[in-house]
Amino acid sequence: MAKLAVTGGGRCNLTNSFEGISSLSEAYPRGERLMKRALKVFSQEDTVKWFEQEGIPLVLQSDHCWFPRSQNAMDIVRCLERGMKGADLRLCTPVQEVVPEQGSYLVNAESFDYVVVTTGGATRGLSFLNALELETIPPVPSLFTFTVPDAGLRSLMGLVADASVSLPGTKFTASGPLLITDWGLSGPATLKLSAYAARYLAERQYKGSVLVNWLNAGEIEVRERLRETASAHPQKQVSTVHPLQQRLWEHLLERAGVRKDLRWAELGGKGLNRLTAVLTTDTYPLSGKSKFRDEFVTAGGVSLGNIDLSTLECKRHKGLFFAGEVLDIDAITGGFNLQAAWSTGFICARGILKTIQAG
């Protein structure tokens, strides 16, 4: 509940329309196969319908994200709390271990016929599951911002550009709004890239380089756009006619070694090439992930190989189910992680109900 209260900047981005997602791997770097099944059982449309039936009007934004119309995450929290009325809630009671014993499970030495593990991101490890001898994937942070020790870039804090970012020498790339901060890079483009490359970056201790394509366009297209500008405004200074925000453009001119008072007609072939290179492959050192430890999703957890994907019941231990981020499933920002929680939670509940009815 605490996580729900702060997600989406306190507004709770509870799902996504999935418009523009051509393959689920774009939204789910890990767990795509499970989510294909899960969304057929409980889809994003089902999520919207369920919350609205529970008295929570929702609104779809232009970025395809669904929020409560009130823009208040606490409405979602209170809705779920109402649904738990009558349940025996034990708060501030850490689970020390889950131990199988003669068809049931001991949880902190108390016996249960069914157990559903929904502990979320496994940032504190999965040692409480040791007695079950399951295959687990070591968790690493996902959805984090980048620390970039470049004073020129950081001086542009607060500026947002529609760009693409990538890691040189890899296929990891993401595009969208890119926010420059006083510590480096943030915004949807950065967060998506951190999700796609979560393990790659962890293995390299978040050190390396990040490449920015400020126009999110190919080199040939960018060079042609610059030529058109030079042809249309030959006597204008390069600092006065351009495709980007003024502060960012002046920063990039400096990185390209192009004088601000130079006229477009004077740019020449070499100047054009340097400017094209900076606009499409502007490379900065990456010295770490966000200093505020604000990552709120992990990649890793209980391996999906342990799980019956149709019920989310453990193959080796009947009556034991898993849902949400504790599984090796995670998504990019935009409501996709919460949709995974709603879908897998529904499947678990349905699986337990069927087992009880069959028994």
pLDDT at 120: 85
Cα distances from 204 to residues 28, 146, 167, 197, 263, in angstroms, run 22, 14, 12, 11, 43
Domain ranges of the chain: 2-141+296-358, 144-292
According to DSSP, the residues that pair with 258 across neighbouring strands are: none
* Of 246, 270, 281, 280, nearest in space to 260 by CA: 246
**pLDDT digits 0-9 by tens, 310-336:** 999 999 999 999 999 999 999 999 999
Mean pLDDT for the stretch of residues 63-73: 96
| Mean pLDDT score across all residues of the chain | 94
Mean pLDDT for the stretch of residues 41-48: 98
Model confidence at 300: pLDDT above 60: yes
* Of 146, 154, 135, nearest in space to 316 by CA: 135
Q: Count the helix, strand and coil residues of the chain and give each as a percent rounded to the nearest 5.
A: 40, 25, 40
What is 110-130 written as a DSSP string? EEES-EEE---S-TT-SGGGG
Cα distances from 143 to residues 30, 134, 192, 198, 331, in angstroms, run 13, 26, 7, 8, 9
Cα distances from 136 to residues 142, 301, 306, 316, in angstroms, run 17, 5, 9, 14
Residue 145, token pair as written in the block: 């911002």
Strands of the 146-147 sheet, one edge to the other: 282-286, 208-213, 160-166, 173-180, 184-186, 146-147, 288-289
Confidence bin at 291 (pLDDT 50/70/90): low
Q: How far apart are CA 72 and CA 62, in angstroms?
A: 18
Q: How far apart are CA 12 and CA 6, in angstroms?
A: 7
Pairing, β 320-322 against β 115-117: parallel
Flag whether the pTM goes above 0.85.
yes
Q: For the packed helices 73-83 and 2-10, what is the interaxial angle rounded to 10 degrees? A: 150
**pLDDT digits 0-9 by tens, 137-168:** 999 999 999 999 999 999 999 999 999 999 99
**pLDDT digits 0-9 by tens, 8-22:** 889 999 999 999 999
Q: Where are the alpha helices (DSSP H) in 216-358?
A: 219-232, 246-256, 268-280, 336-358
Give me the CATH code for the 2-141+296-358 domain, please.
3.50.50.60
Model confidence at 176: pLDDT above 90: yes
Confidence bin at 60 (pLDDT 50/70/90): very high
**pLDDT digits 0-9 by tens, 180-200:** 999 999 999 999 999 999 999
pLDDT at 294: 52
pLDDT at 103: 87
Q: How far apart are CA 112 and CA 27, in angstroms?
A: 35
Confidence bin at 292 (pLDDT 50/70/90): low
**CA count, 13 A, side-chain hemisphere, 107:** 12
Provide the terminal-to-terminal Cα distance of the chain, rounded to the nearest Å.
33
Q: How far apart are CA 280 and CA 291, in angstroms?
A: 27
pLDDT at 124: 66
**pLDDT digits 0-9 by tens, 119-132:** 887 656 789 999 99
Cβ atoms 271, 293 nearer than 8 A: no
Model confidence at 309: pLDDT above 70: yes
Angle at 213 between CA 211 and CA 219, to 5 degrees: 115
